[in-house]
Amino acid sequence: MKAYRNLIAAAAMVGLIGTGAMLHSQLEVQPAYAQRTPAGLTDSSIPDVAERVVDSVVNISTAKAVRGGPAESDPFFTDENSPWYGKEPSQKKLASKGSGVIISSQGRVLTNSHVVSGADDITVTLQDGSEHSATIVGQDPRADLAVLQLKGKLPALKPLPFGDSNSLRLGEVVLAVGDPFGVGKSVTMGIVSAKGRSGMGIEDYEDFIQTDAAINPGNSGGALVNLKGELVGVNTAIASKSGGYAGIGFAIPSNMVKPIMDMLLKDGKVVRGYLGVTIQTVTSALATEHKLASARGVYIGGVDPSGPAAKAGLSEGDIVTAFNGVEVKSGDVLRNTIAMIRPGTTVDLEVVRNNVGKKVIKAKLGDLESALKAQAAQQPRRRGR
């Protein structure tokens, strides 16, 4: 279940961290982890937090039936003289493992979409060792999140409270909890290395917390918690040359997780707003090249002629400097913000236009999925050869 992508400016690989079907019998020896006792912490505070949150993290095992081979090209199944003619190839079960976080006492579990996507069977193992089948309540592949519902009679569950990921500080100590390599529940410690990581090419919508807490395949969907024992992120991917821990892990921040989770719980899907523009963060070089009136904000490089932006009067070359009264610092932030607003909502965009100056434009957001379907329908169909 590995899907690695090149990082643009580094000789490293980014990969989702659900485990594949097989576990190597010999695991790589990980680099020694320096012991740290951050200022203001007692020797017992980290163990207290770890013991408090570990019961809220679960192991997730999935199985997916895959065909043993392509019947359309196998003479055993296509030759009329074969005793296997017309029959389906045998099926195999592809197994994988991941992690999840208990979010309600009624058996709701939060995890990554890639951990459970396409699974025929989902089994969740709780801290007491009991195994429970689970169904998918809803999933959002664009942000790589999913919510499960456990079946059957459940023991007393311990939901993990949400924390405010926006309040995280660089260097703040965090704990990663999950099931790396399927060896069992594990807790690792690290710090917040960076915030707001985007443009990684891992998911459609990215605003990652970067941490050096040890994260490995199998940690996908597990918890990143602060020292209050609150969920501040869902561990999702790593940057690594080997596919194992290299000190760079990525977690979806809780403030991005929470609204997506709420929509999945309510509707089983995520409905995103659509403005209908192509955008780019304004840099000094871009401002100089295009002789822009402002060297900050988000540059509009194109406008969908039938989209909400065009109807509102936005034009190519406009610079969006604020959204609903809040300063816009990057294109990724603007894109993520619009995606989290329901279609039909009217928003205010503060725009700087060359030779005109600053003005506020009101735009009524459309529906992203509807727009994508309309665009796909307009694409010319290729004739088969």
| Residue positions annotated with a catalytic role | 114, 144, 220
SS3 assignment, position 104: coil
User: DSSP state, 72?
Assistant: G
In degrees and rounded to multiples of 5, residue 326 shows phi and psi of -110, 135
Tell me the HSE value of 171 on the side-chain side, using a 13 A CA sphere: 3
User: DSSP state, 43?
Assistant: T
Q: CA angle, corner 305, sides to 304 and 308, nearest 5?
A: 70
Structure tokens at 349: 């965009």
Largest CA distance in the chain: 79
SS3 assignment, position 262: helix
Which residues in 219-258 are b (16+ Cβ under 10 Å) and which e? bbbbbbbbbebbbbbbbbbbbbeebbbbbbbbbbbbbbbb
Structure tokens at 93: 């079960």
Nearest to 105 by CA among 177, 55, 154, 58: 154
Nearest to 161 by CA among 103, 111, 109: 103
Nearest to 332 by CA among 143, 168, 199, 145: 199
